[in-house]
Amino acid sequence: MTRAVPIGFDPLNGDQAARVYSSFGYSDGLGMVTTNPGGFMMTAGFAEKATELYNFPVDKNDVWIVTFPKAGTNWVSEMAWLIGNDLDYSGAKKSLDMRVRLFEKVHQGMICSLERTRLNSLKPPRYIKTHLPFYLLPPKLLDTSKVCCQFFTQPAKIT
């Protein structure tokens, strides 16, 4: 059963769009939107995939790392993977991006789609990292997954 996403997506207003597009150096080609409620900014293409993302099947063995960008995501991912794999330093020589997959695809610094194919290629337990807020993640995530790491820092300290 596919569930509807309980949020809306609103296009950026003129002033917001001008600031965002000038900061990232491109025009309105990606069509930015914000979530309502929440105000999380993303591309319209990602908003079109929201139902797929919201209904992504989570497994009881999944390990999710949920962080702000630039807040130690790779550090936490490496620790979680090593602990979950009995400190397998030989296996850790494989690229972290191959061992711990990003849930969402990022293009030009903006979230644009779900990485379902890459995630489905992982053998259990799947190590999945994301920068999305919980309200955009599968609703059964906290009830189903074996481990869920939330790493907080003060956003003002992130550079």
pLDDT digits (tens, 9 = 90+) for 100-141: 988 887 665 555 556 677 787 788 899 999 888 888 889 889
pTM of the model: 0.80
pLDDT at 30: 60
Has residue 11 got a pLDDT over 90?
no
pLDDT digits (tens, 9 = 90+) for 39-71: 888 877 777 778 888 888 899 999 999 888 778
Q: What is d(CA 66, CA 133) in angstroms, rounded to the nearest whole number?
A: 8
pLDDT confidence of 145, banded at 50, 70, 90?
Answer: confident
Asked if 152 and 131 count as a contact pair (C-beta separation under 8 A), the reply is no
Of the ranges 5-14, 23-32, 124-133, which is most confident? 124-133
Active-site positions read 131
Q: What is d(CA 134, CA 151) in angstroms, rounded to the nearest whole number?
A: 13
